[in-house]
């Protein structure tokens, strides 16, 4: 579990680039990365951010739960399991509170100034982890979602799909067997399988927003798929605006 502070996280993932004049879109683009444990999202987001920055796009890399100072305070409460005894509804409200702060303090301002925002987990994680496997009433979840995002729907969502047994094996390798699994990772394989099915159901229901990426492939193949999908979406969205705002 990574509970490092938001300042550390943002600084590590958004290094200052001396002398670089970033390429801002006339209006930003908001991409979210979703999926179960150990699907390799973080590695792929990092690779995509590097590739986009090399092409001089202005990229903001962020994550949930967290991503703003207020949300980061709530992250620790959620991932340590401190809120677990109070039930999934309490956790869902806390995720929504964190998301609202993150949207208003970080995501919306970045999109409005023309950045490409890459966010590691967002509303679909709440739909799946709290809504489906937390057993919360869908109407309650839908209301919370609207309050939390306040219209800030992702332009594009990549759903990293992997067999949960393989994902959990990778997640254990990544954190090292000395460190314990976090509040959500430690749940049963059956719950992780239900989450996989729920993510795929979202992708099937919202094909205009969601793309399923086969995360069992090797990292270079996954990178290729992600890069192709994202650049195609950017081109399809605003090819002329991209050209107009490109640096000389």
Whether the CB-CB separation of 125 and 83 falls below 8 Å is answered with no
The radius of gyration of the chain's CA atoms, rounded to the nearest angstrom, is 18
| 160 sits near ligand TYD (criterion: CB under 6 A) | no
| 181 sits near ligand TYD (criterion: CB under 6 A) | no
The SS3 of residue 82 is coil
The SS3 of residue 159 is strand
| 126 sits near ligand TYD (criterion: CB under 6 A) | yes
How many binding residues for ligand TYD (CB under 6 A)?
A: 18
| 129 sits near ligand TYD (criterion: CB under 6 A) | yes
* CA pair distance 65, 3, nearest whole angstrom: 10
Q: Among positive and negative, which fits the CA dihedral 112, 116, 121, 127?
A: positive
What's the min distance (Å) between Cβ of 169 and ligand TYD? 14
Type and span of the H or E element at 31: strand 29-35
Nearer residue to ligand TYD within complex by CB, 53 or 99: 99
If you search the block for the tokens 């490109």, which residue do you land on?
Answer: 246
Nearer residue to ligand TYD within complex by CB, 3 or 204: 3
Type and span of the H or E element at 210: strand 210-214
What's the min distance (Å) between Cβ of 41 and ligand TYD? 6
DSSP, res 85? G
What's the min distance (Å) between Cβ of 195 and ligand TYD? 9
What's the min distance (Å) between Cβ of 34 and ligand TYD? 9
Whether the CB-CB separation of 29 and 234 falls below 8 Å is answered with yes
| 199 sits near ligand TYD (criterion: CB under 6 A) | no
Binding part of the chain for ligand TYD, among 126-134, 142-150, 205-213, 220-228 by CB under 6 A, reads 126-134
Q: Which residues bind ligand TYD (CB under 6 A)?
A: 1-2, 37, 41-42, 64-65, 79, 95, 120-121, 125-126, 129-130, 182, 184-185
């Amino acid at each position: 579990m990574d509970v490092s502070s938001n300042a550390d996280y943002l600084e590590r993932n958004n290094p200052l680039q001396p002398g670089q004049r970033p390429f801002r879109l006339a209006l930003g683009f908001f991409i979210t990365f979703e999926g179960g444990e150990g699907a390799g999202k973080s590695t792929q987001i990092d690779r995509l951010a590097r590739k986009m920055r090399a092409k001089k796009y202005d990229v903001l890399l962020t994550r949930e739960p967290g991503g703003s100072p207020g949300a980061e305070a709530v992250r620790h409460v959620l991932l340590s399991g401190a809120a677990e005894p109070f039930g999934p509804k309490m956790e869902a409200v806390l995720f929504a509170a964190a998301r609202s702060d993150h949207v208003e303090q970080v995501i919306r301002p970045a999109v409005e100034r023309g950045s490409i925002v890459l966010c590691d987990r967002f509303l679909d994680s709440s739909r799946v982890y709290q809504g489906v496997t937390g057993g919360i009433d869908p109407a309650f979840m839908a209301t919370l979602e609207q309050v939390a995002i306040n219209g800030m729907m992702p332009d594009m969502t990549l759903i990293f799909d992997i067999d949960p047994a393989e994902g959990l094996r990778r997640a254990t390798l990544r954190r090292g067997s000395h460190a314990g699994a976090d509040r959500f990772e430690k749940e049963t394989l059956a719950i992780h399988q239900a989450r996989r099915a729920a993510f795929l159901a979202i992708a099937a229901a919202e094909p205009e927003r969601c793309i399923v990426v086969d995360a069992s492939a090797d990292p270079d193949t996954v990178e290729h798929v992600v890069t192709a999908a994202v650049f195609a979406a950017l081109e399809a969205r605003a090819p002329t605006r991209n050209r107009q705002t490109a640096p000389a």
